[in-house]
Each structure stands twice: as structure tokens, then as C-alpha cells.
Chain A
């Protein structure tokens, strides 16, 4: 009899011993996991799977990067949206994640505080769809179907989830339920449809009417909370281009649009975290907390936004404590801010690119060796360090470093004045009596076109370059043009090099400055054409597979680099400064204004 009990006890004991080890062997949610990124993975989805909460991706980033410090075999996650297949990352245990997320998970307090922000430009119109609108302010009063977080990760906005068909020609959005506009009307599929159709209506005067009309076949609303965009041709970039944050795709209240008609631009009504109160033109914008905001009401109760055009004045207002946060700092102000213990500098890299473009319509730069020589004669590192400093990061190639299609393997010409001179000599250029190179009686004289202060340090960089090129016998004249007339000058041609660039929020490999400036577009004023490249460009936005798109982007960069189409200086940083009493502020490199979690510590 007791033998039976004895066996039972042994069995139970063994079972008890085995269960923990079984538990240990179970990979999910108990302990840390070492995970290798697969194709089409996102940190959000990984967090969802392993930690039960997509938003816990932040915990993954923190835990992983901590681990990476001691074990470099782990990939360092600099930007959560930029993870590559094959990377080894650490997923923390659920407990650890919960600890790391404790602050973020805690219900947001609601304080009775006013944050005063100083921006460079006044909001021209709150009607985000219109051509003159300034889209970064849109994130305050409006929501988009897809939101970005501070690190550029896409996550659900007014759309809880979405699917893109295999061939990228159909997008289905499942909308969040129970969301109301500030005027109390319901947010639903009909509202989304009305918003996009309004953009497509020529009478609206929207910014992207024709593009949307060319792209969208029709918009269907099978039920109150589902919207289907049927595209005329596949386009993987459709989401980033029209739907995500900082585009013209904000969802505005149809009822309010009807009520206010033409004056809607002065009476915005959205679903966003802040409700519009008043706008005294040129003086201040007042917004108040949306108590019923679906993503958690903001901590502060009021936002006062003051347009102050002069950067120096903005900084003084911050230093005197009259404002709590300023944007758009000049590179020379960075030191002052950092040296001041009462101020905090915020900086994040952006997907922008600025550099010198060669105009191959002009005889002088038709020869790739001449272009290479010029590139070799410019000390890009030195110029960027001296003139840009912390206001940007040194670019590598014609694609911003943060673009998902950035190719880190290409080698730019570099800085080698001797090699430059050698190449020039080979091309038949010899020094004249005054040191300037000559060939067939013609001097190496050319123009560099620069706008006047449209981009950070634009004319200063051009002047520095002019100086450096002089030392190898190249005589450049810098032509500085009023920013309003800059594009006219570019279209008119006649320049040999131009300093320009751009800022493209969507980091998809199929998007970015190179498509615009070197593709078969009206913006290709640089006379550049390459069959293979244009074939790649033509296919890029229609290629559904991420890896293929990325490969295509890499190849494109190789071609552009071999052809030395330009000299690439920097990717601008998005800069802001605040009083160190401002806590909970999530600075982003995308460029939108977001103050949901910010508050002042008393």
C-alpha cells in the first residue's frame, strides 16, 4: 500500500522538478530571449508577440542596447523603425519590460499647466490639406490614420490596424471605434473618405490633388469602420506619402468643414490631443487639452504657441523663462544652450540631405573624372565639422543615413588634393600663369548657385568650398540667390553646381531625394540620366517586397556614387531647446510637434 503512495510521491516530486525546467525551456514571456530579426519584422510586432504589448518595444530597445554595450554581437538599435533582417537582439523578460515601461505605462497625470512654445513661423492656415499649410502643426489638433512615435516607428493612429495587398495596390484600414471630433461628431469611415475626396477635388486647392487623383482608383467604405483605398497602380510608398503623420492626410471634421466652408482654415476641428481655442495672427495660438483624447489626454492643460521669427530672440525668451521650448536653433547657438545648466538641447537626426549637385548639362562637368577631381578637392568632413557641428550629421552618399535604403558600403571619393590635381592634369588641365587651371585657352571658371539662407549654412558652405577649390586652381564664383527665386534659377540652368537638398519624412527605400533629383522628373535639372538607374526608379515604388526595394536602392546608390553626381555634406538634425524644467518631452526627428507627455516640474 505505502509503495503505491511512495511511487506517487516520487512521481509528483519528479514532476515538480521537471515543470520548472519545462517552463525554463519555454521561450515565451518567462525570461529574456535572444531573437534574430526576420524579413518584414517590426519591433512593435515582436513586442506584441513576446511581451503581449506592442508599445513595449521601447523596453526592447533599452534592454537590448544595454546588453550591446557588453556584448557587441548584438545589434545596436539606434532607430526602432530601422531594424535589419539578421540582426541579433535581446528581448527582455516580461517583468523586466514591465519595469522598464513602468513610467510609460503609468496613467498620465492631468495637470493644470500651460506650456509656452516659441516657433519660427506662424500657422498660415489650419486647413492641412491646402497648398499653403504647414503640416508639422497638424499633429497638435489632428490625428492621422497612422501615427509616428518619437523614433519614427509607425504605429496605429486613427486606424487600429491595416493590411496592404500583396501587390501593394489595395490598402485596407480598420478604424478605431468610439473616437469623436472636437465638435462631438463621430469619427468613422465616411469621414476618412470625405477627407480624401476633398483633397482630390480641384476646387479645394489642395496640395496634392492631381497626385492623389492619379494614384487612387476609388475609396470604399464597406462598413462604418473600414476604409479601402484601391490604387490605380501598385505603390508601396502610398502610406508614407499620403496617410502617415506630417502629410496632408490629417482627418478633419466633415461637419466643421461644412459649417465653416472657406473659413475652416481659421477654425480647425480634428480628433487630436489639443483643441483649438484661438489664434491671434502673428501673436499667439492657444490650444487646450482634449480631455477625451483616445490615446490619453495630454498632461498639460494648455498650449500657448508664439511665433518669433528671429532665432536669437527665441533663445533669449527661453533664457528669460518666458517660453519653455523653442525650435529651429542656429548652429552657433548650440554651444550657448549646452553651456547653460538651465537649458536642455534636444537633437535628433532627420531624413534630409544637403549637398552640392553637379550640372551635367554644362560642358565643364560632363567628364566624370573632372567631377571626381572636384569632389576630391573638397574637405567635406572639415566643412561639416566647422560649419554644421551638432546641427547635422555627416552624410554618406546621396541617401540620408536614416533612410531604410541607405547603403553603408559605398565609398565616397574622399579628400585627396593630390589625386584631384592628378585627375585634372590627366583631363588636360594645366595651371595658368595666375594658378588657375586652363585648357585650350579656357580657364576653369564656374558658378556655384546657392540660395540665401534657405538651408542651414548654405552660402557659407559654398564659400568654404570656393576657397578650397581655389587652392587646386579651380576658380568658382558663388552666386547667391533670393530663396523665392532659387528654383527659377535652377530651372533656367546656366549654373555649374548648385547647393540644395531636401527633407523627406518617409524613410522607405523607395523614397528620398535621389528619386527626385536624378530620376526622370522635372526636378532633374542636373542633366543626369542613366538607363539602369531610371529602370530601378521606375520599378521601386511598385515593388512590394521590402528586401528587393532595398537592394534596388543600394544599387542605385552605387551607380550614383560611381558617377560622382554630387558632393554630399550633411543630414540635418532636428533641433530644439527647452528649459530643464520641462519633463516628459519626446523629441522627434520626423518634425512634428508633440507635447502630449510634456509637463513642467515645479
Chain B
């Protein structure tokens, strides 16, 4: 019963967040410079055609009218059509969302697999060579720009070694071709994330290892391994889980650079082009779903937290 209340509360809080985000973006979009009609039409289009197109698309109505019209349709599931492709916004997004989710999942897995063990071991072996080197690499990982990393990966792994295809998605995750084509884009995303995770895992672990109950556990005669796994790790990983959750949300938003360089057919490219061309309905649709996604992910993180941390009672 308590858990259901908890979930319901979180969802209800999410609704004003959604409305707020969409509203903010709507007004910012319409008030920033850049005219989608002018960007859609040929460079020498006549003034009349521009005016006519604006009317045709309903862009010359007063903003509040456009705003409420948007919600009126959105509630019924009609998110309009992309100005540029004339395809339904929903279709544009659903055609690409699965691929971004796929990429984000693999990136999060990769980054955890790399980052968490490195961070934890660094903490356990604090100030050893392992610790120092991994901290240095983590620092690099956080600092190196992803477009540089992406291009370097392509040059090394695709051009020189030929292990992976330079770009594109060659199939679903459960095929070898698919795995090979997702590896580099996911790795590019994972590097920055893993570095952050490693540092967080390390500091969190160190923090936990300093606690009294760890000393008590050792005093009780527990072997080192059990001390770490049964007592320290569970507690140290709590902030790490939250971090992973927010990372996933961030990656969902469109790992634009990775997707552009690797021609990954995800949301990132869609979002950037939509903004470039001021494709209002498409941008709003993307923001709408992104907001929902972030709310849901945060809910999942909260729930996981509640499950893992016995101190939290629902």
C-alpha cells in the first residue's frame, strides 16, 4: 500500500513538471530569432509564399492560441506534423526513440562495467599505483571531448584495425552485426560517464569504508572480502545508482555528437536538425517525450533506491 502511494505521488509530481517544461520550451522557441518558414522555403522564395505558408501552418495565430491548440491536440495524441517532412511527429519520434534507448542502455552497461569496478578497487587499494593511474585516466575521460574520442575510435578501430564498422546501425542488439555497430558509439558515450562513475564510486566507497560499522565488522572477525561485499558495497553503491539513473536520462535526451559522428539513427540528430530548422511541432514533441522519459527514469531510480536502502520505508 505504501509503495503504491509513493509511486502515485511521484507520478503526480511529474505532471506539473511535464507541463512546465513543455510550456517553457514553447515560449522560448517562439520568441527566439529564426523563422521556420523562411528556413523551409527555397532561399529566393517570394514574400507572398512566406506569408501564405505561415498561414497554412497556423504560425501566424497569436501565441496563446497556438499554445492551447497544441495541448488540445496533444491530449488526444495528435502531436502535429513535422514542418519539414510533413510526417506525424509521433512517427518521427517512435522511428528513432528505440535506437536511442538501445544506445543509452548499452552505454550505461558499458560505463558501469568499466567505471564501478575501477572506482571500487581504487578505493580499496587507495593510493596504490592502480589508484593513481585510474584516477588519471578518469580525469582524461571526463575531459576529452566526445567528438574527438568518436573520431579517434573510428580511425583506430574501423579504418586501421577494421574491427568495427565506421558508422551506422547494422542490426538489432541480439545479432553480431548489431553488437559490432553499437560498440563504438556506446563506448564513446560510456567513456565520459565511466570516468564520472569511477570517481563517484571511489569516493563513495572511501566514505563508507571509514564508517564505524566497517570497523565493527572487521572486529567481529569477518574476512575482508565479506566486509567489502556484504557491508561496504551495498551502501557505497547508493549514490552510484542515482548517478546512473541521471546519466541514463541524459543519454536519452540524445547523445547528439555520438549519434552524428556514427550516423546512429537516434533522437539526437533528429533534435538537432529540428532546432536548426525551427521545426516547432517536432521540437515540442521531442521535449514532451523527453520530459516524460526523465520523470519515469527518476521514478525508477527512486524506487530502486527504496528497494536497496533498507532505511527508506515506503
List the interface of chain A (C-beta within 8 A of B): 124-125, 127, 130-132, 202-203, 205, 207-211, 214, 262, 265-266, 280-284, 306-310, 312-313, 316-317, 319-320, 322, 482-485, 487-489, 492, 502-504, 516, 522-523
A250 to B41, CA, bound (A): 17
A316 touches B166 (CB 8 A): yes
CB-contact partner of A322 in B33, B46, B48, B166, under 8 A: B166
B167 touches A308 (CB 8 A): yes
B162 within 8 A of A: yes
CB-contact partner of B34 in A124, A262, A313, A484, under 8 A: A484
A484 to B269, CA, bound (A): 16
Chain A positions within 8 Å of B215 at CB level: none
A504 to B44, CA, bound (A): 9
B41 touches A131 (CB 8 A): yes
A484 to B32, CA, bound (A): 10
A34 to B43, CA, bound (A): 43
B30 within 8 A of A: no
List 14 additional A-B contacts (Cβ < 8 Å) besides A211-B48, A316-B158.
A125-B84, A207-B42, A207-B49, A210-B48, A211-B49, A214-B46, A265-B87, A309-B260, A309-B263, A310-B263, A316-B154, A320-B158, A487-B35, A516-B43
A210 touches B159 (CB 8 A): no
CB-contact partner of A127 in B45, B86, B99, B260, under 8 A: B86
Question: From DSSP, what is the main secondary structure of chain A's interface residues?
Answer: mixed
Contact sample, A vs B, 30 pairs, CB 8 Å cutoff: A124-B82, A127-B86, A131-B37, A132-B40, A132-B82, A132-B83, A132-B86, A207-B49, A208-B46, A209-B53, A210-B49, A281-B95, A282-B99, A282-B270, A283-B265, A306-B168, A308-B168, A309-B260, A312-B261, A313-B166, A313-B262, A313-B263, A316-B155, A322-B165, A484-B275, A484-B277, A484-B278, A487-B35, A487-B38, A492-B33
A281 touches B158 (CB 8 A): no
Question: A48 to chain B: closest CB distance in Å?
Answer: 34
Of A202, A262, A283, most buried by chain B (CB within 10 Å of CB) is A283
B6 within 8 A of A: no
Chain B positions within 8 Å of A262 at CB level: 86
B224 within 8 A of A: no
B56 within 8 A of A: yes
Total A-B pairs, Cβ < 8 A = 136
Chain A positions within 8 Å of B86 at CB level: 125, 127, 130, 132, 205, 262, 265
B202 within 8 A of A: no
B34 touches A210 (CB 8 A): no
B73 within 8 A of A: no
A281 touches B96 (CB 8 A): yes
A208 touches B45 (CB 8 A): yes
Question: B44 to chain A: closest CB distance in Å?
Answer: 5
5 residue pairs, one from A and one from B, having the closest CB atoms? A282-B265, A132-B84, A210-B48, A488-B33, A484-B34
In B1-45, the 8 Å CB interface with A consists of 32-35, 37-45
Chain B positions within 8 Å of A280 at CB level: 265
B269 touches A309 (CB 8 A): yes
In B79-130, the 8 Å CB interface with A consists of 82-87, 92, 95-96, 99
Question: B254 to chain A: closest CB distance in Å?
Answer: 12
A309 to B262, CA, bound (A): 9
Chain A positions within 8 Å of B92 at CB level: 281
A307 to B273, CA, bound (A): 13
B166 touches A317 (CB 8 A): yes
B242 within 8 A of A: no
Chain B minimum-CB-distance residue to A247: B42
A211 to B261, CA, bound (A): 39
Chain B positions within 8 Å of A284 at CB level: 168
B265 touches A210 (CB 8 A): no
A306 touches B159 (CB 8 A): no
Chain B minimum-CB-distance residue to A517: B44
A132 touches B85 (CB 8 A): yes
Question: B270 to chain A: closest CB distance in Å?
Answer: 7
A487 to B36, CA, bound (A): 11
B95 touches A282 (CB 8 A): yes
